[in-house]
Each structure stands twice: as C-alpha cells, then as structure tokens.
Amino acid sequence: MLARPLAADSFGTRSMCAFVDTGDLSIVIDPGAALGPWRYGLKPHPKEVKKLEEYKAEIVRSTSKADLVIVTHYHYDHIPRPYEDVAWLKGKTVMVKDPENNINFSQRSRAHLFLEQLRRVGCKVSVADGQSIKIGNTSIKFSKAVQHGNSPKLGYVIEICISKGNECLVHTSDVEGLVDEQQLSFIVQNKPDIIICDGPMTYMLGSRFTEKDLEKSIKNLMKVVALCRPAFLVLDHHLIRDLSWRDRINALITYAESFNTSVCTAAEFSGLSYEPLEAMRKALYESCPPDKEEGIKASEDENV
C-alpha cells in the first residue's frame, strides 16, 4: 500500500490531504489546503501563499486521477472553497461526512455549498459515517462521527481505516490529538501499522486546549502505541503550528521508541524538508520582509 501526504502543516500549509494506493484503487482523503489567516498578528507570508498554490495544484493533479475521494468534514483546509472551480472532481465517487447529522451550524452550511459544487460536476456522493466497503481485496471502514478535538463546538469528523492483506492505515482527520475515547477506540479496534494523526493542538495551550487535554492526548497516544504497535505514528496538522511541539510530547516519543514506533511528521514520513511555515511566520517576516506589492492574501475567515 502506498501512502503519501499531499499537503501538510509540516511542509508548509494547513492540510491533512493524503493519497493512498492499494493496488485495487487509489484514494484521496480531504482534497483541500488553506493558510492560517492570522498568526503572531501577521497575515500569511508570500512564501506561504506560493506553497499553498503548489500544494493545491498537486492535490488537483492527484485527485483527478483517483478512483475515490473521501471528505472527513467541511473545514476549508479539507475541502475546496465555494468559489473554486472543481472541474477536477468531475464524475468522481465521493464519500462524505454526513452533512445533516452530528454537524454544527457552520459546517452544515458549508457542506450544502460543497455538495452543490459536487452536484454541478456530476459526482456520485454518498454518506460515509459508520459505513464499510470492500473493493477487490481492499476494505475501507469509516468511524461514526467523532468530535472535532476536545469539544463538539467545532463539530464532528470521521476517521478512516484502509486495509489490504496485513497492511492497515488509519487517517484520523481533525481529532486535535485524541482527547476523546471514541476517537481513540476506532484506532485501537483496527490496529493499523501506519497512522496519520492530527496531533495535540498545543499552540492553543492554556486557551482552547488545556494542559489536561494535552495530558489526555499523550496518554491516549501511548495507548495507541502499546496496543497497535504501529511502524509509523505520523503526527501533524494542529501540533506542528507549535515550534516547541517536540518538547511537549517528548514522553510519547521516548515511549514509542521502546516499541519501535517512529513518531514523525508528514514531511519526515514523505522524505520532504520540514518547513512549518505558519509556525515560522514571524521569522519569515524578519528574514524576508515582503514587498508591499507582493499582495499578501489572507484566508477569508478565521475558522478554516
């Protein structure tokens, strides 16, 4: 099974987009990417804008060749925005997070706009929550809706398990580090050997993410390591927006080493250079001040 993150915070843009090819079919999970609109009081640096364009082009290229597209929820770092041309999704089979149940107001309205975009390009859309499908020798299982992070305020997401023979991959979507039992149990039930996981949201530590949430995350991630013994625990997305992320989860990294589990970023997993541009934004502005004419574009809303 080939697994390749197509865009990620650790290589420069907010995203958890991943391409998986099992030999029976190719799958793209969450074909979107976005920039943090504000960080350290600064809008995205031109380098971030350029990287976003590159990764979006890669997402378009890979998705237009994929057999199946999966959408775990409706934040704009996971799906295209309503004004974007989505001709590259023409005729695709798309399995989506339930747009009506277990969803908050903001995501429900975004879901309707997105489903309308899909309808216009003739996609075959079905609700994925709690479903299982089999294509050739590949099984794909979807969790029931689980919380987006530490509270249902931001809505719900679905987790995905793709397996073939003795290979198994889980993509957790935006769990913000496994703070909740249901988020954890889907992983443990499936015993994956590769886990692409949204790590603890430590850049919001003390505000939207508490010390207790971090403790719970580390404890739950240790359980995942001990019970599943994965070869790779890829931690990315919310975690990588904190430059000190390694220190925050040091106990987990050391614990995982004793199980031969590699805790790594999506960049490291893919052999790409580690460039967490959003977390580096202040330094980028200092080392490379943008010209006024460079036209820094911010994403349109805070809650991507």
Residues at the contact surface with Zn ion, assessed by CB under 5 A: 75, 77, 174
Minimum distance between the CB of residue 78 and Zn ion, rounded to whole angstroms? 6
Closest approach, Cβ 171 to Zn ion, in A, equals 12
Q: Which is nearer to Zn ion, 187 or 225 (CB)?
A: 187
Q: Which CB atom, from 75 or from 281, has the smaller least distance to Zn ion? A: 75
- Closer to Zn ion by Cβ: residue 43 or 237: 237
Nearer residue to Zn ion within complex by CB, 43 or 75: 75
Nearest CB to Zn ion, comparing residues 155 and 230 = 155
- Min dist CB 142 to Zn ion, Å, is 17
Number of Cβ within 10 Å of residue 32's Cβ equals: 24
Closer residue to Zn ion (CB): 77 or 284: 77
Q: Is the dihedral of CA 50, 56, 60, 66 positive or negative?
A: positive
Q: Half-sphere exposure of 112 toward its Cβ, with a 13 Å CA cutoff?
A: 8
User: Shortest Cβ distance from residue 294 to Zn ion (Å)?
Assistant: 26
CB of 73 to Zn ion, least distance (A): 6
DSSP the chain: -EEEESS-GGGTSB---EEEE-SS-EEEE----B--S-BTTBPPPHHHHHHHHHHHHHHHHHHHH-SEEEE----TTTS--TTS--GGGTT-EEEE--SSSS--HHHHHHHHHHHHHHHHTT-EEEE-TT-EEEETTEEEEEPPPEESTTSGGG-EE--EEEEETTEEEEE--S-TTT-SHHHHHHHHHH--SEEEEEPP-GGGBTTTB-HHHHHHHHHHHHHHHHHH--SEEEEEGGGGGSTTHHHHTHHHHHHHHTTT-EEE-HHHHHT-----TTTTHHHHHHHSPPPGGG-PPPPS-S--
Least distance (Å) from Zn ion to the CB of residue 9? 9
Closest to Zn ion by CB, 3 or 239: 239
> Among 134, 224, 142, 240, which Cα is nearest to 187's?
224
Cβ 183 to Zn ion, closest distance in Å? 13
The least CB distance from residue 74 to Zn ion, in Å, is 8
C-beta closer to Zn ion: residue 168 or 304: 304
Q: How many CA atoms lie within 13 A of 11 on its CB side?
A: 22
